[in-house]
Structure 1
Amino acid sequence: MSRQGHGWTAAWTTSPQRPGISFAPNWSEEGFADQTIRQTVRLSAGGDALRVRLSNRHGTRPLQVAGLTVAAAAGDATVKADTLQELTLDGKPAFAVPTGTDLATDTVPFHTDALDRVTITMHVAEPSGPATYHAQALATTYRAAGEHHTDSDGAVFTETSQSWYHLSGVEVTGAPGNGIVVLGDSLIDGTGSTPDTDHRFPDRLAQRLVAAGPPRAVLNQGIGGNRVTIDSAWLGDRATLRFQHDVLTQPGVSTVIILAGVNDIAISEMAAQSPFPVLAPYTQVSADQVIAGHRDMIRQAHAAGLRTVGATLLPMQGSAFSTPHSEAKRAAVNAWIRESREYDAVIDLAQAMGHTLDPAHDSGDHLHLNDAGYQAMADAVDLTVL
């Protein structure tokens, strides 16, 4: 059953995170003050009109938006001038996003096709405080001093970051309401893929659906380091908790793919003196606890009328995450996904990608994929199961 959302379909999303340190430097803790932020995203579905969803979910004060525009991307920080449109809220070009909330702008007529790139530019005049963000965008965000949200030229946008800020979704009208949410961790977020190329697994899956026709929205709700059962200040709420916001509130979706659990079982095998302190806490998690988390997400999805597709956990042999205990837990979780029949369908990515990652697919850490690996991962999906 599709959740139509009064004709809206989410065409691009990301999962908002708490401000803080992460795997790379970012602007989340300092926030913004009399600065303009320019961000480009690729839509997985097209439509006749759009609206933008902003998030201040983890802010400490209202986000005062002094100006907001959308335009067709033209490369780097440049946009196509003849497409630039102002975005408003209740008809007002300046507005506030209250603390702890997300909101959608007014609708603007804006024709897009699947795989089009659009650029959203926001001027924040007053100090924002710490910024709700998504740590690993694998896309370049640009920043300029002062008010430049209506600039078509990108010359003033001289500062860059590899995170997204306050932007959580772009929704369109006129698309079929049969979108797919992909929930998971760094293997969904795209760790190891080339920045600014849209080579993550959900991107590649969206391209396959466009080629096969008709296009369907594919939404990336991955967070690097995220777990099914454990909350983290820097790596997001546990998947069972964020499922409500990140999956069930998305308009125009009918299916959720879940690839999650490797961090639970592997990080719990690491010592507290790990070279990756951002991964803390190192709480022990059993295979049964991961399975219980999957069951919880299946229940939530079915209660909302969504079809569920479980993906088996990919190989990690040779990585820092691979120990005899973690490998045994991974095998147990995968056996349950394959054999329990609790998911409506299964994508056996573990079998498709092999016991050990093919060197041609390995980003170098024997856990995350490169561009060719994410393509192989998407090619392994039988589109009929969706």
Structure 2
Amino acid sequence: MHVWKKMMTATAAITATIATAACTGAPAAPGGETSTAWSVPMQQPSTGFEPNWSLDGFADQTLRQVVRVTTGGDTARITLSNRFGRNDLRIAAATVGRTESGARVQPDSLRPLRFQGSDTATIAPGADLTSDPAELRLAPSESATITLYLAEPTGPATFHAQGYATSYRAAGNQAGVADSAAFTDTTHSWYFLSSVQLSGGSAPADSIVAFGDSITDGFGSDNDGNNRYPDALADRLAAAGTPRAVLNAGIGGNTLLSDSPWYGESAVRRFDRDVLAHNGVSTVVLLGGLNDIGFSEVDLPTYKPNPVVSVQQLIDAYRDLIARAHRAGLKVVGGTLLPMKGAEYYTPTSAAKLRALNEWIRTGGEFDVVADFAAAVADPADPDRLNPAFDSGDHKHPNAAGYRAMAAAVDLNAI
């Protein structure tokens, strides 16, 4: 699928700023430094893993999305992305508020969002746009509801396929309505919304980005459960009295080296945008390569491209990411790849590559910290297999308990 990269034109009440990275580095809002409290990588429209609205887009519809922030603040901004859009994205109205339950917003918290003073915005193909600050108090681990009224046809929508959170759709303009009755359509993807930034909070700004594929994204976790491993890591930090933002930069199916129409741009291509562009990041956790190894072992249409990739190529990709992170002043945590015996990826060849890559991660001395995720979730009777207590059912993705075990493998004093 083609990725459209057009220069922006001023065609609306405001001018959107072109950015190759999400505009999370917006100027600080009154009351303190602005930092990213939630984010998700953007993908081009595709059929995805389950039905979604990305290919059809939206027209005279209201989109309501719920996200959990991992730090608190008194002032909120959002960033919207039209990175993979073919048409101007016109926002007819937007609001933000504290989530009550499902698609219902706490009525007294509902706030209009403006863009350079305007209630409406136009975002050109290839561009992102950050809103003006809105006064809204959010506590750490609280959920925010972002609502967009899309009056004109959007065309195919820039989105994130595997949200593991319910997004809602209603006919007409419901942006200013706190009630949930009109929001009868649902999906488990996020659309256009790439980040939420907060200012005025007390939590430190040294955030952590978890960067990887579906195991970071949360495949096998519970919809609306917020029990992916980055969520569990944020919970551990908060319980230890050292709360920090933990941003999830995982994309299901993502590979270190190959772009995919279903599974996003390669890790080496998207790293700067999805990690380094965020304000206040001090640590990145890298976990990838399983799909590079596994795709070449399976002949399925979605597992394309599927070149045979050597362990050395994967090590070289990791070295590139480590060097870029270090140049930006980040600490780098290397996570070992999880066991997958019994999965469709598993062959003698893939098993040997996985063991060799994990050995380098553990002993190569190139990461600042190692998180031995593999050891944390392995079957004690067979280290090539996931512990049955942690297996979501496909023998390569953990369940919620497995994700908690992964988070427990991270040394909080070392990150």
TM-score higher than 0.5: yes
1:384 lines up with 2:408 in the alignment: no
TM-score normalised by length of structure 1: 0.96
- Find the partner of 1:360 among 389, 394, 410: 389
CA distance in structure 2 between the partners assigned to 1:361 and 1:170 by the alignment = 31
Q: In the superposition, relative to structure 1, how do residues 4 and 333 fare at CA in structure 2: closer, same or farther (>3 Å)?
A: farther
Name which of structure 1's ranges 153-162 and 174-183 shifts more when overlaid on structure 2. Answer: 174-183
1:371 corresponds, among 374, 379, 400, to 400
* 2:152 corresponding residue in structure 1: 126
2:374 to 350, 353, 364: 350
On the 8 A contact 1:22/1:278 being kept in 2, the answer is no
Q: Residue 103 of structure 1: CA displacement?
A: 1.7
Q: Give the Cα–Cα distance (whole angstroms) in 2 for the partners of residues 231 and 211 of structure 1.
A: 38
Per-residue deviation at 1:214?
2.4
- Tell me, in whole angstroms, the C-alpha distance in 2 between the residues paired with 1:149 and 1:342: 49
C-alpha separation between the residues in 2 aligned to 1:213 and 1:102?
A: 35
Could you tell me whether the CA contact under 8 Å between 1:49 and 1:109 is conserved in 2?
A: yes
Alpha-carbon separation, structure 2, partners of 1:302 and 1:163: 32
1: CA distance, partners of 2:335 / 2:90? 40
Per-residue CA shift, 1:232-268, capped at 9, x if unaligned? 0110000000001100111111110001110001112
Residue in structure 2 matching 1:301, options 286, 301, 325:
325
2:166 match:
140
Q: In the alignment, what sits opposite 2:341?
A: 317
Structure 1 unaligned residues grouped into runs of 5+? none
Residue matched to 2:350: 326
Alignment match, 1:228: 256
* TM-score under structure 2 length normalisation: 0.90
Provide the C-alpha distance between the structure 2 equivalents of 1:383 and 1:360, rounded to a whole number of angstroms: 24
1:280 pairs with one of 285, 288, 304: 304
Q: Which piece of structure 1 moves more, 4-13 or 59-68?
A: 4-13
Q: Structure 2 CA distance, aligned partners of 1:154 and 1:35? A: 14
Deviations 1:164-204 (A, max 9, x none): 00001001113421000000001011101110110111111
Secondary structure in 2 matching 1:73: strand
Partners of 2:239 and 2:375 lie apart in 1 by 25
SS at match of 1:45: coil
Deviations 1:137-162 (A, max 9, x none): 01110000100001000000011111
Matches of 2:339 and 2:27 in 1, distance apart? 37
CA shift, 1:62, in A, is 1.4
Q: Distance in 2 between matches of 1:268 and 1:285?
A: 8
1:177 aligns with 2:205: yes
- The answer (yes or no) to whether the contact 2:234–2:245 under 8 Å persists in 1 is yes
CA–CA distance in 2 between the matches of 1:336 and 1:4?
A: 38
Deviates more, 1:278-287 or 1:148-157: 278-287
| Residue aligning to 1:189 | 217
Distance 2:128 2:211 in 1: 19
Cα deviation for residue 49 of structure 1 reads: 1.1
Map of 2:362 onto structure 1: 338
Q: In structure 1, what is the Cα distance between the partners aligned to 2:215 and 2:205?
A: 26
Partner of 2:75: 49
Match of residue 80 from structure 1: 106
Deviation at 1:5, TM superposition (A): 7.2
SS in 2 for 1:301: helix
For 1:15, the aligned partner's letter is: P
Contact 2:164 2:188 in 1 (8 A): yes
Find the aligned partners of 1:65 and 1:58 in 2 and give their Cα distance.
16
Following TM superposition, the consecutive aligned residue runs of length 4 or more in structure 1 with deviations greater than 2 angstroms are 3-6
Match of 2:63 among 23, 31, 37: 37
Deviates more, 1:251-260 or 1:373-382: 373-382
Aligned to 2:100, what secondary structure does the other structure show?
A: coil
How many Å apart are 1:4 and its aligned residue?
11
Q: Could you tell me how far 1:71 is from its partner in structure 2?
A: 0.5
Q: Between the two proteins, what is the percent identity of the paired residues?
A: 49
Distance between the aligned counterparts of 2:289 and 2:306, measured in 1?
Answer: 14
1:307 Cα deviation after fit: 1.1
